[in-house]
Structure 1
Amino acid sequence: MNYKIKKASLEDLDETAVLFNLYRIFYRQESDVEKGKAFLKERFLNSESDIFLAIADGKAVGFVQLYKLFHYTKLQKQWLLSDLFVHPDFRGKGLSIALIDRSKQWCEETDACGLMLETEKTNDIGNSLYPRTGFEYDGMHNYYHWWK
């Protein structure tokens, strides 16, 4: 399968929003393309994340979204691999690995120390994929959330 990975821009908002909606549905959220589109548009306009798209058959079929963080021991920029999704019709073709590899390349291009991510314990696909792409499980830390 022929594909390319490209850095998304505001021009790609509609295609990205459709994929983002499917990603949110995967995580048991209500479908809301317009709200997701507004969320992504704000990220683009404020340069708050970087998104890479997998393009196959002339359309966006997957994406990865990265947010900038800073690592306290490395004293460097780090990227949070926040969202990774490939349309079910295009899974098993190496696109997730290609998007992760592009994220690693982005670390090199932006002088970042690396990537971090979290995924649900029940995400069998991700929990199998990430170690195969060089991510190490961090069993030493507990992650907590506070929501208002």
Structure 2
Amino acid sequence: MNYTIKKATLEDLEDTANLFNLYRIFYRQESDLEKGKAFMKERFLNSESDIFLAIIEGKAVGFVQLYKLFHYTKLQKQWLLSDLFVHPDYRGKGVSVALIDRSKQWAEETGACGLMLETEKTNEIGNTLYPRCGFEYDGAHNYYYWWK
């Protein structure tokens, strides 16, 4: 299946928001297209993330969202691959691998030391996909959260 990967802009807000809403539903969140759209619009307007869309026959079918971080030991920029989603109708066609490859290319283009990501232990698809794409599992660290 032919697809293209493009860097999303504010003009792609509708497509991005629709995919983001489906992504949130995948992670057991309530559907809230308008709130998700506002969230994504802020990321675009404030240049707080970089988003790439997978396009098949003119339709956005997947996305990846990257946030800039800084690595304390490498003393370089790195990218957090925060969100990756492919519409269920287009899975198994290499779209997620293409989005990851584009993220790796973006890391190189921006002089970053690499990518990091986190996924749920129960995400069987992701936990199979990421090692296949060259990511190494880091079992040495615990991740903790503080929510207000």
In 2: Cα distance, 1:89 partner to 1:65 partner: 20
In 1: Cα distance, 2:24 partner to 2:8 partner: 19
Identity of aligned residues (%): 87
Aligned ranges for residues 29-108 of structure 1 at < 5 Å?
29-108=29-108
Question: What number of residue pairs does the alignment pair up?
Answer: 148
Alignment-derived partner of residue 120 in structure 2: 120
Alignment-derived partner of residue 17 in structure 1: 17
How far off is 1:76 after superposition? 0.2
How far off is 1:29 after superposition? 0.2
1:52-93 deviations in Å (ceiling 9; x for gaps): 000002110000000000000000000000000000000000
How far off is 1:49 after superposition? 0.1
Q: Letter of the aligned partner of 1:72 in structure 2? A: Y
1:101-141 deviations in Å (ceiling 9; x for gaps): 00000001100000000000000000000000000000000
Q: Letter of the aligned partner of 2:91 in structure 1? A: R
Taking structure 2 as the reference length, the TM-score comes to 1.00
Aligned ranges for residues 137-148 of structure 1 at < 5 Å?
137-148=137-148
Other structure's SS at 1:97 match: helix
In 2: Cα distance, 1:39 partner to 1:56 partner: 25
Q: Letter of the aligned partner of 1:29 in structure 2? A: Q
1:27-51 deviations in Å (ceiling 9; x for gaps): 0000001000000000000000000
1:4 and 2:4 matched = yes
Runs of at least 4 residues of structure 1 off by over 2 A? none
In 2: Cα distance, 1:2 partner to 1:128 partner: 23
Alignment-derived partner of residue 135 in structure 1: 135
In 1: Cα distance, 2:125 partner to 2:3 partner: 21
